[in-house]
Structure 1
Amino acid sequence: MKTEVKKGNPLALLPLGVFLVLFVGSGVITGDFYKMPSLVAFLIAGGVALLFNRKVSLEEKMNIFCKGAGDSNIILMVIIFLLAGAFSSVAKAMGGVDSTVNLSLSILPSNLLVTGLFIIGCFISVSMGTSVGTIAALAPIGLGISEKIGIPVALVMGAVVGGAMFGDNLSMISDTTIAAVRTQGCELKDKFKVNFLIVLPAAIITVILLTVVTSGYSTILTDNYNYELIKVLPYLLVLVGALCGINVFALLGSGIIFASIVGLLTNSFDIFGLIEAISGGISGMYELSLLAITIGGVVSLIKFNGGIDYVLYFITSKINSKKGAEFGIAALVSIIDLCTANNTIAIVAAGPLAKDIADKYDIDKRKTASILDIFSSCWQGIIPYGAQLLTAAGVAAISPVEIIPFLYYPGLMFICGILSITFSNVLLKNIKSNEVA
């Protein structure tokens, strides 16, 4: 027997519209899409959500907001954000980023410079969990390589951005990965397996494309890249531990302790420097944490007012299959990312609705989390007003639009995401057979 879906109330979605008008509108008017803080825009949207349903008292609506904001999944996500921020900051302060970059460059084949930069970017972004941080570390090196061998700087920046987006959507400590798995209720390692199989072809094809396109350029890097292997180990610890299925809290906690010990033993900082690094890393996650809490409350009000029911009704009236539902989730998170220029916000905002759709159509949690992460990340790596392209373009002193034709990996990731939905049964059957074996 088919379950009847409530039609809901389309006007209940007005708060999201208000947020988009404020955020996108300010960007269009000022030319700076970061002029309007997303937290402020969502707080205003929350105020609009409180105006609905006059039959319910303001106190009761505030209780609904607070319950949504304090949902266990939201609070757990916030704690993970704070721990991830602390780990990244301590690892960077003790020289982990520099050592990881220099280790990679020291083994870089001279005839595969740009391809090597992409591969290094993949490794660093998976280790660091931040695409912007990876671009900030590699873009100056890419600029130097471009100047040495005369290769177009936009092509080099495209390779750097591509490598950064690889880890942004796979890293165990990436805020997008954390948001995706927490909103869908699956394990990090399980999402990683599904996600990795989907994007691996995109990475391989990108390596081939970059090798062919840059085959006419070659030089030898003469700089001496110094590194300390022990400073790379904290990243490897987190990566291996996550793949082994260690609890994320224990994983990040042990990563912080290990990175702290390495930093103290190598005199990278003293005990007060360590405390400052931990504090700085946690502080850097304050806005994201408050944003997640606020979005949780706003979404709860939207759901109470019938907005979620309307979206479900609209989607289900247009979609009659699991495959169609997966495309619907992909479209939902894509649109939000294009409007907000922030893939973490897109996942946090789309996550609860995606879970409702996934539950209705019995979509595998690992697949839903992967769809959210893949489609938000591929668009985030392409939009010229996103932090990733703006960072790369700023270092290279070019327009972000010039980089877009060379963004091979984000474009291929989008194609692989579409194919994974089209042939979803084959993908999940292969994963399950491998798990049984």
Structure 2
Amino acid sequence: MEKKMSFGWAILPLLLMVIVMVFTIVVLEQGPHMPLIFGTVVAGLVALKHGFTWKDIEEMMYKGIRLALPAVIIIMLVGLVIGSWMGGGIVATMIYYGLQIISPAWFLVTILFICSIVSLAIGSSWSTMATIGVAGMGIGLSMGIPAGMIAGAVISGAYFGDKMSPLSDTTNLAAGLTGTNLFAHIKHMLWTTVPAYIIATIAFGVIGRQFAATNMESAEIQGMLSTIRDNFIVSPWLLLVPLFIIVLVAVKVPAMPALIVGIVLGMLSHVFVQGGSITEAVGALQSGFAIATGNDMVDALFNSGGIDNMMYTVSMTIIAMTFGGILEYSGMLKAIIQEILRFAKSTGSLVAATIASCFATNASCSEQYISIVVPARMFATAYRERGLHSKNLSRSLEDGGTLTSVFIPWNTCGVFIMSTLGVSVAQYAPYAILNFTVPIISIIFAFTGFTIIKLTEQEKVALAAEDKRLNEESLA
């Protein structure tokens, strides 16, 4: 289906979409849905001009949507989890004890560490943000810490674990697509990720010191604790629910069934612990948990969740993937990346081009998985021809793809964070320190040659033999 596409035509839909996106968001103060639809229409017209039929374009859009279906299901399940955990008093319990245990001065570092550990154990940034992250937002906001700072610490910790965990889907995807041993891939990523993590820890430690004077005995915080006690049954036993879900995912139970277990436990807590009716429990799943305590901060924290509140995110994801599907399957994205590759003459520029391509794919196709899959296909030959080990490519894919997805408002990761943590990209981007520091370190190392691994002669011979075997099999 793919046809030859010039760079000029290929980049046109993306450029026009970005221009309209900026105007719509900044000037009109509207959401990103209409610009994405506009971009999809332009991409479809460009495809028609290059000989594709309307049936071809429809199939491209359907393929793009199919890629997003797992993310759409997870987004809806997370809405159900939040609704049930709010109604079940699980989040209230986490916030209640968190307020009493965590020091405001060290809150950002603490939530960074907790999210890192949980995400490393379960291999999922989304599950970490939807559970620990939601509670962390509540605790931090109660301490008077700005939402963007809290979200930045949550995201940095969650993506550290997602990137470094052998259970992570993106980690396995990057290793598998490049033919790199999984643990060799993870070990190679330590060189760029650990320095960035240290920088993030120091930064959050310094930023957090401004909240050292926050009085945990203040009337506002004590009022919040009192309101939580008056409106929820707070019990340490409720903490077993998130702990159980973390254990399930850690022992390799897939995310979807693990989240379903979390929803059921949340509903049971709502009915049998909090004393709510079945009608109220089901309503919390559908339209979100609703409470009117008279305390504005408590009401703002707990009136959330439900599948209805995730439909904005779901619709944006589907529209974004129709746009990405046309770019990917018409060959536009390939033409853009090939043009970028023309300027990658040195090892440093090749790695920089890879990371830039991953970011561009995140922006154009709105899905972090595609930002790993497409550049992996495009750059594999270039890395091998220059005698570079495949783990250089696999690391660059994660440094540029997995981590930068959070900076695109219409990417599935960006919309998930906005709907789950309630914070916009513009608010948290300056504080997602790990996510923007890792790509910078990766590019610096590439230009200096530090940690760049070359293929040995034995490895070159082995790869040549494998290529010959595959060619013979294909001819046979």
Q: Same fold (TM over 0.5)?
A: yes
Map of 1:146 onto structure 2: none
Change (3 A) 1:240 1:318: farther
Map of 2:60 onto structure 1: 64
CA shift, 1:142, in A, is 2.7
TM-score by length of 1: 0.67
Aligned AA for 1:241?
L
State how far apart, in whole Å, the 1-side matches of 2:245 and 2:327 are. 37
State how far apart, in whole Å, the 2-side matches of 1:186 and 1:94 are. 40
Question: Larger Cα Rg: Structure 1 or Structure 2?
Answer: 2
Tell me if structure 1 keeps the 8 A contact 2:21–2:35: yes
Matched, 1:300 2:325: yes
What 5-or-longer segments of structure 2 have no aligned partner?
120-127, 288-305, 384-389, 454-476
Tell me if structure 1 keeps the 8 A contact 2:131–2:242: no
Tell me if structure 1 keeps the 8 A contact 2:105–2:210: no
How many residue pairs get matched?
Answer: 376
Map of 1:142 onto structure 2: 143
Map of 2:32 onto structure 1: 38
Map of 1:92 onto structure 2: 86
TM-score by length of 2: 0.63
State how far apart, in whole Å, the 2-side matches of 1:238 and 1:370 are. 28
Tell me if structure 1 keeps the 8 A contact 2:156–2:434: no
Matched, 1:9 2:6: yes
State how far apart, in whole Å, the 2-side matches of 1:305 and 1:416 are. 32
Matched, 1:27 2:25: yes
Change (3 A) 1:317 1:168: same
Aligned AA for 1:16?
L
**SS of equivalent to 2:102:** coil
State how far apart, in whole Å, the 2-side matches of 1:334 and 1:56 are. 27
Map 1:18-417 to 2 at 5 A: 18-30=16-28, 32=29, 35=30, 37-52=31-46, 53-54=48-49, 55-70=51-66, 73-109=67-103, 113-120=104-111, 123=114, 127-129=128-130, 133=134, 137-143=138-144, 159-167=149-157, 169=159, 202=196, 204-208=198-202, 211=205, 214=209, 217-218=212-213, 221-222=216-217, 225=225, 227-267=234-274, 269-280=276-287, 281-319=306-344, 324-332=349-357, 334=359, 345=366, 347=368, 350=371, 353-357=374-378, 361=383, 362=390, 368-369=397-398, 371-377=400-406, 410-411=432-433, 413-417=435-439
CA shift, 1:294, in A, is 2.9
Aligned AA for 1:101?
I
Tell me if structure 1 keeps the 8 A contact 2:156–2:433: no
Tell me if structure 1 keeps the 8 A contact 2:245–2:262: yes
Aligned AA for 1:119?
T
Aligned AA for 2:280?
G
CA shift, 1:307, in A, is 1.0
Change (3 A) 1:270 1:60: same
Aligned AA for 1:60?
D
CA shift, 1:24, in A, is 0.6
Change (3 A) 1:130 1:47: farther
CA shift, 1:253, in A, is 1.7
What 5-or-longer segments of structure 1 have no aligned partner?
1-5, 144-152, 394-399, 427-437
Change (3 A) 1:83 1:358: farther
CA shift, 1:184, in A, is 6.1
